[in-house]
Structure 1
């Protein structure tokens, strides 16, 4: 796989969309050093920074407090896109469809289904033991005895698998059952996400680029796993971190250092240098 330094057109990049877990974030969950400074430098160089994640927008905004109202966020795997503090795109799953997924997964018994309703998440009372795992991503959790109690708008269903067996369950059960009606994807080894067909990180970035008049050929993305594939396929500059599984190499053009080696920060510095700006440095 080609090294990121072989991309001779880094100076053309106008938008940088970056996955969070195991891509931008180190394995301990920390951001690269001087990240706020890097985002400022990208802005001065004419590059919009866009975290792209399965996380909801409020959680993402909390992670970038200095820039919550200045950058873009591709949240809920593209179901909710925010630019400069305002919604640029929102998608809704039909209630009868999300009820079907939730009821089926609740009956599975080996997982904890979560309804993602933009600012809040709904979880069954029986799954309260997984609170810390879910709270990592959803700060406003409403516990209910049954999903029949919920009357809310939602853009995503996510299912937590505490035994880290989401990948085989996705392949053998969930994708065959729901894949023709919803876009289903693994988000790591412990989550399966469901959005409407056509909704993905790739579509979210495309919506944002259209609204801002940015050619997708001048957009870049960095990822590490399955739910990043549509985003990597959509943009003109695609990168995976060195810690990504080997199968991901087929979905990107270039390789950057691992998340623990701060590959995204290294790439940002390379983009800044290509545009004639001083790299921030680690």
Structure 2
């Protein structure tokens, strides 16, 4: 990759954002510095479009975003969806039918209209978005798959997410992708082949970038495809074990501004008087950043 990548791609929750969903001033400064150095920055998240404004406001600039775990590529400057890869209504119906047969007590919600709207069954617990006009409880089961959705969400009470995702993925093998980005037992389902890696690869292709040109940060299993696709994948110290296992490097936790620390290290090494040798990262791991 060389000292500086051509693109930095970062996950949001648990990676760039602190636990209170804020972006630290240090992180804002590091992103500004890397951008000023000629490196593009993109966000790659499981979040829907409607959850991005709060992040853009903190960063001070609306960065291009791969959202809904790769199903949507969004240009916030033009407020334009550049690409969407949803689950078609017929496929949604098949996925829902299969999971109802395999998972007792399962309930569902869908992200529709390129993830600007959210529809949920009556039994699906709402942990976010309460009172939002973009959130609607469906009246009949068929309404769940009446239109295409960029993401299907599944819950079945208290579940170990690592165990539950294997059950769901097994039931949907060859039909759809299943992953998770939290420890709450929420499973996120996308069309077959739709991952953060696929969405980011499409974005890179539009800008003449190869995987080797990209440095990416992440923390949860939905980040694994992206971190294994890019030239250098970096886990924050608080990452899920599956992410720590495959990462090329590990930086400090999200609470300790791990992304900022790693970018600062890269920028310092790239200075004309910088040390050309391996760089020590905040966790003590050494890598050839």
TM > 0.5 between the two? yes
Partner secondary structure for residue 254 of structure 2: coil
- Equivalent of residue 21 in structure 1, options 13, 38, 56: 13
The residue number in structure 2 matching 1:88 is 82
CA contact (8 A) 1:126 1:145 kept: no
Q: 1:79 to 1:139 in 2, by over 3 A?
A: farther
Give the total of aligned pairs. Answer: 264
More moved, 48-57 vs 223-232: 48-57
CA contact (8 A) 2:221 2:242 kept: no
* Greater relative CO, 1 or 2 (CA 8 Å, sep 6+): 1
After TM superposition, give the deviation of residue 201 of structure 1 in Å: 0.4
CA contact (8 A) 1:77 1:227 kept: yes
CA contact (8 A) 1:105 1:112 kept: no
- Equivalent of residue 121 in structure 2, options 124, 127, 152: 124
1:1-282 equivalent positions in 2, closer than 5 A? 9-11=2-4, 13-65=5-57, 70-83=62-75, 84-85=77-78, 86-103=80-97, 105=99, 108=103, 110-117=105-112, 118-127=115-124, 130-131=125-126, 133-135=127-129, 140-149=134-143, 151-160=146-155, 162-171=157-166, 173-189=167-183, 190-276=185-271
Instruction: Structure 2: give runs of 5+ residues left out of the alignment.
Output: 273-289
Partner secondary structure for residue 39 of structure 1: helix
For residues 47 and 233 of structure 1, the distance between their equivalents in structure 2, rounded to whole angstroms, comes to 20
CA contact (8 A) 1:60 1:75 kept: no
Pick the structure with more helix per residue. Answer: 1
CA contact (8 A) 2:11 2:43 kept: yes
Instruction: Structure 1: give runs of 5+ residues left out of the alignment.
Output: 1-7, 278-282
User: What TM-score results when the alignment is normalised by the length of structure 1?
Assistant: 0.83
Q: 1:53 to 1:147 in 2, by over 3 A?
A: farther
For residues 134 and 66 of structure 1, the distance between their equivalents in structure 2, rounded to whole angstroms, comes to 20
More moved, 187-196 vs 26-35: 26-35
